[in-house]
Amino acid sequence: MTTVPTPKHYWKFDESSGNIAKDSTGGADITLDRDDCWVTGKFGNAVRFDPSGGVKTATAFQLETSEIPQPWTASFWVQRGDAGKPASLFSSDKYALRLQQVDALDKAGITIFHQADKHFDLGIPTGTWTHLTMVGTANDTKLYVNGELKATLTTPINLGMHWLGSTHGHQDYAVALLDEVKVWDVALTGDQVKEVSNENTDQAVNPPPPSAIQPIIPLDSGIATTINSRHDIKDAIAQRVLWCFWTGDNLMSDQRRRCLESMGPSTECNVVLVTKENLGEFTHPDHPLHPGYEFLSDTHRADYLRTYFSHIYGGGYSDIKFQRGSWLSSFEALEARPEMFAIGYKEYSYGVPAYLNTAAGVPLSNFWEMLIGNGAYIFRSRTDFTEEWFRGLRQVMDVKLESLRQNPSRFPQDTTGVVYEGVESGYPLSWSEVLGDIFHPVCYKYSDKLLNTLPPPIFNDYR
């Protein structure tokens, strides 16, 4: 096994309260600008960076120097959102490592302020944990993704690291979850980077790989309902139906099970869990599942089904997460406004990808406050909204069908370009291609038909 030297600095972010992140090897603790943004991480806990409701910036006041000259190495576990603008991982007065570069917002890069902005020719996925490592030498700067060398820039820079998650502490804020940040004052080799990316994988909170998948066991959770098939659906809104989906064979974690078991009492709704075992009972004969459904990842199957059920049956949907309270007033609000199509929670600023535009070519992220999030909502069935949403889904599935047949999903969170078990995925769908990329533009089109007062789910501690 390759020997990896002890990092000069190592922030685990396993604290659960306060505004100090301990440096477990170098003594340079990081000060966060708020104390309430600890979330479930890749390993243990992580910090949520977001200028709208999360940490804006973190400052390493106790560093001996704000820059490490070449050679150096910096590694991060990151789950990128989309800031819609440049975003920094580390920065100093002179240098920055970019999560989103100035001239290519979906790509990481490096910056020498007032001199150069360079991007690596590789997109960083959103919504999934990714291990990023940058290695700086006197000749170049390398980018490794999930332990594999992906791109090299012939521009050497020093590692500026006075601020984490911003440029200079007041701009270029990252929208991301960060975990396990490590820094070395040496250039790690490719083998060493791979070893770092594989550390602690037995502790990961991500879904297990296929070799560890176990059959799902029946739930004895007290959420059993009188709705056991499509024949039991008369009026999903009047029946206060709240759909949830668990689409794979993987065993639901204890924490996820606790989320599910809490949803009925907390929302006061008729929670219906749809799994692969009972999906056939709810599939409408006039609307069979798309032939590409069987090749989708578990995540994309759930995305497909929330669209399908919202259009065919209507009612509520939520991710399997802890809830903030009753949904009854939200159902009543939608019933009281028959001209409205849906009620959801107001979308967050980081929830809209920067590459989506309006018909006029304006970034859709400029209008995030007009949209609803796709983690929970209540829809009337068979409206103009759901028809357009469902049609857009079917069109994407039609286009990608042959590619899906040739490159079916290999693990629950598969997405284009992700490296899994040392092999880059050929799965042809990006993370948001079958949901957010369709849903948000339709939201914008029908924004005057949407209510946004539904309480959002709790987006942490659900795995």
Task: Write down the pLDDT at residue 142.
Answer: 97
Task: Write down the pLDDT at residue 216.
Answer: 31
Q: Which residue has the tokens 């001239």?
A: 103
CATH topology of domain 9-203: Jelly Rolls (2.60.120)
pLDDT over 90, % of the chain: 67
> pLDDT digits over 91-143, tens only?
999 999 999 998 888 899 999 999 999 999 988 888 888 999 999 999 999 99
Q: Which residue has the higher pLDDT, 203 or 411?
A: 411
Q: Which residue has the higher pLDDT, 355 or 255?
A: 255
Q: Tell me the pLDDT of the chain averaged across its residues.
A: 89
β-bridge partners, 317: 243, 377
Q: What is the mean pLDDT of residues 197-201?
A: 76
Q: What is the mean pLDDT of residues 299-313?
A: 97
CB of 239 closer than 8 Å to CB of 268: no
Task: Write down the pLDDT at residue 200.
Answer: 65
For 15-19, 276-280, 340-344, 390-394, which range has the lowest pLDDT when averaged over its residues?
A: 15-19
Task: For residue 72, give the amino acid letter.
Answer: W
In angstroms, the CA 25 to CA 28 distance is: 8
Structure-block tokens of residue 383: 């409206």
In angstroms, the CA 131 to CA 163 distance is: 20
Q: Burial letters for 222-256: b for 16+ Cβ neighbours within 10 Å, e otherwise?
A: ebeeebeeeeebeebbebbbbbbbbbbebbbeeeb
In angstroms, the CA 109 to CA 239 distance is: 51
In angstroms, the CA 205 to CA 45 distance is: 10
In angstroms, the CA 166 to CA 156 distance is: 21
Task: Write down the pLDDT at residue 157.
Answer: 96
In angstroms, the CA 205 to CA 293 distance is: 26
Q: Is 402's pLDDT higher than 50?
A: yes
Q: What is the mean pLDDT of residues 275-294?
A: 95
Angle of the 298-312 helix axis to the 384-406 helix axis, nearest 10:
150
**Banded pLDDT at 37 (limits 50, 70, 90):** confident
> pLDDT digits over 314-373, tens only?
999 999 999 999 999 999 999 999 999 999 999 876 677 667 888 888 988 889 889 999
**Banded pLDDT at 215 (limits 50, 70, 90):** very low
For 1-5, 103-107, 398-402, which range has the lowest pLDDT when averaged over its residues?
A: 1-5
Task: Write down the pLDDT at residue 284.
Answer: 96
- As to burial, measured by CB atoms within 10 angstroms (0-12 exposed, 13-18 middle, 19+ buried), residue 106 is middle
Q: Which residue has the higher pLDDT, 331 or 458?
A: 331
Angle of the 436-445 helix axis to the 384-406 helix axis, nearest 10:
160
Task: Write down the pLDDT at residue 224.
Answer: 42
Q: Could you tell me which of 185, 171, 31, 168 has the C-alpha nearest to residue 92? A: 168
Task: For residue 423, give the amino acid letter.
Answer: V
Q: Could you tell me which of 409, 165, 390, 181 has the C-alpha nearest to residue 286? A: 390
**Banded pLDDT at 428 (limits 50, 70, 90):** very high
Q: Which long-range contacts (CB under 8 A, 24 or more apart) does 428-432 make?
A: 428/400, 428/403, 428/404, 429/296, 429/297, 429/300, 429/396, 429/400, 429/404, 430/125, 431/125, 431/126, 431/127, 431/128, 431/299, 432/126, 432/127, 432/353
Task: Write down the pLDDT at residue 210.
Answer: 32
Domains of the chain, by residue range, sit at 9-203, 210-451
CB of 18 closer than 8 Å to CB of 36: no
Task: Write down the pLDDT at residue 246.
Answer: 95
Distances (CA, A) of 438 to 299, 304, 357, 387, 395: 16, 11, 11, 12, 10
First-to-last C-alpha distance (Å) of the chain = 31
Please indicate, yes or no, whether the overall pTM of this predicted structure exceeds 0.75.
Answer: no
For 33-42, 199-208, 390-399, 453-462, which range has the lowest pLDDT when averaged over its residues?
A: 199-208
Task: For residue 397, give the amino acid letter.
Answer: M
Q: Is 234's pLDDT higher than 90?
A: yes
For 223-232, 273-282, 380-389, which range has the lowest pLDDT when averaged over its residues?
A: 223-232
> pLDDT digits over 55-77, tens only?
888 988 667 778 999 999 999 99
**Banded pLDDT at 3 (limits 50, 70, 90):** confident
Distances (CA, A) of 137 to 6, 93, 133, 197: 19, 20, 13, 20
Task: Write down the pLDDT at residue 212.
Answer: 31
